[in-house]
Amino acid sequence: MSKEHADALRSARGRLVDSRRELAIALAKPFARADTEQCRKNIIEVQATIRAIDEALKDEEGLASKLNGLPSPPPIAPISA
């Protein structure tokens, strides 16, 4: 796995986790129909993207192992933040 690719994925993931936390704070505020619905949609999209990045990181690790002639690493649980 290219260190640069993995670092970029981890950095993107960190930013998305920050966004998810901000959205959670917004969702916890008193109900404002339009804002709340948009926050819900956004948090779902952000979480789906975090999962996609987790999968991409696992894929990168598997590719690196194959390129180095090593067995693929065992599956890892998604990082929760």
Give me the pLDDT at residue 50, please: 98
Query: What is the rounded end-to-end Cα distance, in angstroms, of the chain?
Result: 23
* pLDDT, mean over the chain: 85
Cβ atoms of 50 and 13 closer than 8 Å? yes
Cβ atoms of 2 and 21 closer than 8 Å? no
Give me the pLDDT at residue 18, please: 98
Give me the pLDDT at residue 61, please: 80
Tokens of 59: 């894929």
How many CB atoms are closer than 10 A to CB 53?
Answer: 21
* H helix runs in 1-81, sequence order: 3-28, 33-67
pLDDT tens digits for 13-39? 999 999 999 999 999 988 778 888 999
